[in-house]
Every structure is written in structure tokens, then in C-alpha cells.
Chains A and B, each alone.
Chain A
Amino acid sequence: MFARLVYESFRRQKRRKLLAGAAITLGVTVATAMIAVATDIGDKINRELRTIGANLLVTPQEDTLDVEMGGVNLKPPSDGAFLNEADLPKIKGTFWHNNITGFAPILPVNVALERDGKTENLTLLGTYFAKQVSLGKEEFTTGVRSIHPWWKVSGAWPDDSSRDVLFGERLAARLSAKPGDEVTLSGRPLHVSGVLSTGGGEDDQIVAPLGLAQEILGKPGAVRRVYVSALTKPEDALARRDPKSMSGSVYDRWYCSPYPQSIAFQLQEAIPHSHAEQIRQVAQNEGAVLTRIEGLIFLVTLAALFASALAVSAAMATAIFERRSEVGLMKALGAGKLAVASVFFAEAALLALIGGSVGFAAGGWLAHQIGRSIFNSEITIPPVLLPVILAIAVIVTFAGSAAAIRNAVRLDPVFALRGEL
């Protein structure tokens, strides 16, 4: 009897059930999409923040001071210590390798540009542009093209194994050099493949593949410093503590959190005789920006959940209010309060489950679309969230119906049937 009541109610009142179901579906869709966006927004914005550049710097442990002013390197070229290029792939072998989005080694060398019979001393930076690096079986591409996205080249980017160089834009303007020129640097004939614009010191320099810089310096495998771009977690009190003063479990927690400090510590472990440190301008501020945006989206998500809960309960209240005469009939035939309420709750639960499942799928699709159109990457919603979302849908539907159901069971059948309420 009970099952038939519920079944017939769905069969005969298709329009009303469809309306209430649509409200639940829409509510759950919005809630699912916003939860998916809110859980993923930190990671997405973190990746966008990486366009500001590297946040970690690895230097040799026993290095002498950098003497660099206005883009000109005044440090004697063979002075100080170097890192070994062969150690660099190990950066991708650290605990947080998935958080490391890229790295670029830098080797500044002094070169003499011979031009029209005159020689001029310039700084040449050797680096990776988009180099294929392999660690074990894993292969990845890294270099300045990915970690310094604001570097713009007119002409072509040099290949990492070529003997092509880039001229900084101010240097090129001063020497009226253009892509395609042939130049002689420290006795080597080289090809200018493009003009580089960075807005920084590189505009006065020459940028070349790392191998070429090592050859000019006469030190194969030498690297002066490495810029590392890593996705990090905003710093908190634990991050700032000195790892040496920590107890075992606290140390493990620190080591296994992607703080700038702990990633720097792991880089130092991976590369022999190195010193790694956060670039505070980038690392410190991105934490602040990230926290702000995450907080904002979290509150907006709460607002979305609230609005969808309200929409669902409004729809349910209306649907039940319209069925007063039915309640009157049931009660006139001898149904108790419990029987009436259980029919309504069963209907609500059924609606919530159907609407919730459809809404979950639609919300997942919506989140996917938002991720694609705004961030050019996927936002996926873990299927484990389905039971959680369904439970929320049932609770919200029950909560929304509760007041209306209470009113309905309290109805005097006489008034209800006469339509006087």
C-alpha cells in the first residue's frame, strides 16, 4: 500500500514531481560544481602564480659573492664554485618532484664581441631553453621557456644543442643586431636566432644554450646557479621553524609538507655541495595571494551552497503545500500522522536521490567546463564525493520539506477537503 501510494504519486503528478526534481537537480549541480572549483582553486591559482617566475634558487655551497650590477657580471668568470650539470635531473627525483614545475640552470660567462674591428666585453648567460632531461625512465622538458614565461623572443628560440644565441633587446638596439646575423664571440662564429625581451637585466646580455657557455668558459658541466619553480604551500608557523630543532614526528610533518623551506631543504639534499633558498619576493607573496583567493572562493562556495539549499527547500515546500486536499483525504480515511509524514518523506528521499545523482553528474560536467574555459586545465570531481553530495541533497530536501510536512499532518481533514486553508 505504502509503496503504491508513493509510486502512484510519481506516476500521476509528473509535472509537480518534475518541477521539484528540477529544483533539486539544479541545486545539487551548483553545489557540486562550486565544491569542485573550491577544492581545486588553490592548485590552479598556484600554477598561475608560477608565471611570476622561480621561487627557489640553488647555488653552490662554498660560493664567493656575486658581483653583478645593471646586468653586467663583474665576478671573475672562473672564480668561486660551480654545481655539476649532471646532478640537475635529481631535482625531479626529490620527494616533492610532482610539485616542481620546472628548473633552469644559469651560467654567466664573460665574452668578447668582435665587431667592425673593435672588441666589446659582454655577459653571456648559458641556460636551458626547452631541454629534454631524463631521470631513470622518466623524461621531461624544462628550461626558461616554461619557467620564465614573460621572456619574449622575436625571431626563433635557439635549440639547446645548437650554436644559436639570443641578443637582449637593448643590446640588439645598441649594436643594431637582428635575427639572422652572424657574430663572432670570443673567437667563435655564432648565429643570432632572435632578440630577447625580458624587462630585466637579460635585455643587456646574450643568452645561449648552456653547453655553449660551458665551452666558452672551458668548464664542461659547470652551472653557477639553478632557478627552480615549485608549487608550494603558504608558509605557517611550522614552516618557519628550524628543522634541526624539531622532534621526529614534527620533522616528518615538516618534511612532508610542500613549504618553500622544506622543498629547498630537499633540493639541498639532492644536489651535492649546494645551498638552496627561497626567493623571498616570489615565495613570500604568493602564499599571501593564494590564501586570499582561496578564502574568497571558500566563502563564495558557502553562499552557493546556501542559495541551492534554499532553492531546494522552497521547491519542496511549494510542492507539499499544493497537496493539502490529498492529505485531508488520507486523514479522512483514517491515516495517522506518521503514515502521512512517511509518505511525504519517502517521496522527498526518492526525489533527492534521483535529483542528487543527476545533479552530481551535471555539476561534474559544469566544473569541467569551468576548468577548461578559465584555467585551460581539468577540474575533476572525485567519485568518492557522490555519497557525500547525495547525503547533503537528502538532508537539505528533508529540512526544506519538514516545515511543510508538519503543517500538512496537522491539517484538519474537514477544512483541507473544503479547500479552506
Chain B
Amino acid sequence: MLVRAAVLRRARAASALLAMVVAAAVATAMLNLYIDVQAKLQHEFRNYGANIILVGRDGASLPAGAVSQVESALSGRGLVAAFALVVARTSDGQPIVVAGTDFNRVRQLDRWWSVSNWPSARQQALIGVRAVSVVSPKNQPFDLGFQGHTIHLTSAGTVQTGAAEDSRVYLSLPDFVSWTGVQPSTIEVAAAGSPGEITAIMHQLEQAIPAADVRPVRQIMEGEARVLGKTRSTLLAAAALIILTAALCVLSTLMGWVFDRRRDFAIMKTLGASDRLLNGFFAGEAAALGATGAVIGFALGIGIAAWIGRVSFHAPVVPRFSVLPFVLAGSIVVTLLSAILPISLLQRVQPAVILRGE
């Protein structure tokens, strides 16, 4: 009987189902986006570089193997780069800060560095744009001295950041250590994850390397938390509005559909159907419509969310099947509501009045 009812009034049933599908799709897409936007933006914020810094206590060097300890604590969820710093002298006696690091790691960690050419061979240096005029104004080979030891370097390229890096000279760590004998004293860590996970990583690092002072980069972490919170709130407000509108669309379409069938209702009642049977019939029909619409809409909504993710973050939004029960339950509630309202109105009217078309 349910199926026949749907088949006989194809156009109206189809429009009701369409409204349901669209509403469920929009709701699914918004919920998926809302859940996923945090991970997407956190990923985006990792381009700001380190959010944790490890420094040897009182300026001392960190123990050998500290980098691998940090890496094992992160277990692949982040980037690590170590820096060793000394104040050296140029050949004409000017003081300059020289740093040793692993260029491959820095390239990934500090993506905002604007580098003309990364060093690839030994004894090549990366020179800060402001330091160029001091150490190698004509791009010629130059010497740096530290505690009586001299290193002979060639310039590979320049680095520009607009910050302290512009006044420094960067060497590869093996060159730096064999020249100065100074081991890294700072490790920059860009750890991925929620604030809670990052705090857990910091505790783990404190225990693994007691010789280091583990500091959060508050500037980055606080800014990230604020922007993330505001974006999520805005998205939540938008999702609530959109879902409300979609639910209303379903409500008005379905109510019209049920109202339209008042003749069926009246005939069934005249033929002796009880109120309970009639309620059950219309409610069953509505629930079936809601469930069908929700499942099709869910599939469609995941597609929409994936597309939005691809367009705005260049990475698809992962489908969350945990959303399905909510969409399903919500759809059934809305459809039931829109079936029961007109039925309770009709029940107060005599079937004869309806059949006479008044």
C-alpha cells in the first residue's frame, strides 16, 4: 500500500524525497566540515613553524642524540630541526652570529624562509641578507674565526626572513661542529595535534631530556587557538542556520504532500480504518521517506564536503560515518513531525466534509 501510494503520486512523492535528500546532504556536509575544519586548519598553522622549543639549560649544549629522542617522542607527527649558535668574527674582526643546522629539516620546518639557493656541498654557507655586505659583499669566498679556529667558506645563497636570521650565517651541522666543537643547544619542534596532544608531547619531552628546558611558543599556540576557535564558531553558526532552513524546507514540502492526500485519508477512514492504523500508516510512510532521503543525502553530503575540502584546503574532508546516525535520526524526526501535524488537524474533521472537497 505504501509503495503504491508513492508510485501513484510520483511527482509529489519525488519532490518530497528531493527536499529530504537535499536537506540531509546539506546537513551531512556541514557536520563533516565542522568536525574536520580543526584538523585542516591545524595543519595549515604548522606552516608557522615550531610550536615547541627545547633549549639547553643555562645555554649549555643538548646531549648527543637529543634529536632522535625528540623524534621518537613525536613518532612521526611533526618536524624537528636542531640549531647550534656561536658568535664568530669575520676576517676584519666584526662579530657575527653563526648557526649550524640541518638544511633539509629547516627547509620543511621554516617554509617562510626565502632562500635564493640552498647549500648542497660542504663548506657552503647560507648568508642572511643583512650579513651579506659584512662577510661576502662581492660573493667571494670568506673566512670566519672562532676561538682561534678558522673556517674557509663559499657562499651558496642568501636567506631573507625579516627577523634575526637576516643577520646570521648558516652552515651545515657537520661543518659547524668540526670547526667550533659546539653541539646544538636549541631544537625547534613543530608538533601536530590538538592543544592537549601538544601539552602531552611537551611533558614527554621534559621527561626524556631532563637537560633541556622545554618551552611552548606561546605566540603561535595562542594565535592558533584563537583563530581556530573563531572559525569553528562561525562554521557552527552557519551550520545551524543552514540545517534549520533545510529542515523547514522539508517540513513545508511534506506537510503539503500529506495535506494533499486528505482524500485518501478520508476514504480509508470511511472504510473503517481506526485512528491508530491511519496514524501508523502515515507515520510509517513519513519515516520511510525520511530514512531513504537521509541515506541518499548522506552519500551526497560526503561528496559535497570532500569537494569543499578540496577547493579550500587542497585536501578532501575525510567522511565521518559517526555523523550518519544523527542525520538519520534528525531526518526521521522532521518527517514524522511534518506528517503528524496535518494528520492531527485532519482527524478533527469529518471524512464526509473532506470528500465533498470543502
Contact = CB atoms under 8 A, between A and B. Distances in A.
Tell me, yes or no, whether A binds B: yes
Interface string A303-336: 1101110110011011001100100000000000
Contacts of A49: 223, 227
Contact of B256 (A277, A297, A318): A318
B235 A300 contact: yes
A374 B312 contact: no
Contact of A289 (B44, B130, B235): B44
Contacts of B118: none
Contacts of A314: 15, 19, 249, 252-253
A307 B26 contact: yes
Contact of B227 (A45, A64, A304): A45
A366 B37 CA distance: 23
Interface string B149-173: 0000000000011111001000000
Interface in A248-285: 277-285
Interface string A55-75: 011000001111111100011
A207 interface: no
A292 B227 CA distance: 12
Interface in B68-111: 85, 87, 94-97, 110-111
B163 A281 contact: yes
B20 to A, nearest CB: 11
B346 interface: no
Nearest to B234: A374
Contact of B233 (A281, A301, A374): A374
A311 B234 contact: no
A75 B218 CA distance: 27
B222 to A, nearest CB: 5
A175 to B, nearest CB: 14
A65 B311 contact: no
A5 interface: no
Interface string A134-151: 000000000000001110
B252 A307 contact: no
Interface stretch (A23-31, A100-108, A116-124, A159-167): A23-31
A70 B222 contact: no
A375 interface: yes
Nearest to B250: A314
B113 to A, nearest CB: 7
Interface in A319-368: 321-322, 325, 366
A284 B231 CA distance: 20
Contact of A281 (B95, B134, B161, B235): B161
The binding surface of chain B is classed by DSSP as helix
A53 B235 CA distance: 25
B41 A149 contact: no
A390 to B, nearest CB: 19
B238 A37 contact: yes
Contacts of A57: 162-163
Contacts of B33: 296, 300
B87 A311 contact: no
13 contacts: A51-B223, A52-B220, A53-B219, A150-B223, A198-B218, A199-B217, A200-B218, A281-B110, A284-B112, A300-B242, A307-B23, A307-B249, A318-B256
Given A45-B230, A301-B238, A318-B252, 6 more contacts: A199-B217, A289-B41, A296-B235, A300-B30, A310-B246, A311-B252
Interface of B: 15, 19, 22-23, 26, 29-30, 33, 37, 40-41, 44-45, 47-49, 55, 59, 85, 87, 94-97, 110-114, 130-131, 134, 160-164, 167, 185, 215-220, 222-223, 226-227, 230-231, 233-235, 237-239, 241-242, 244-246, 248-249, 252-253, 255-256, 259-260, 263, 304, 308, 311-313, 357
Which 8 A-B pairs give the minimum distances between C-beta atoms? A318-B256, A52-B223, A199-B218, A311-B249, A295-B312, A280-B112, A279-B162, A66-B167
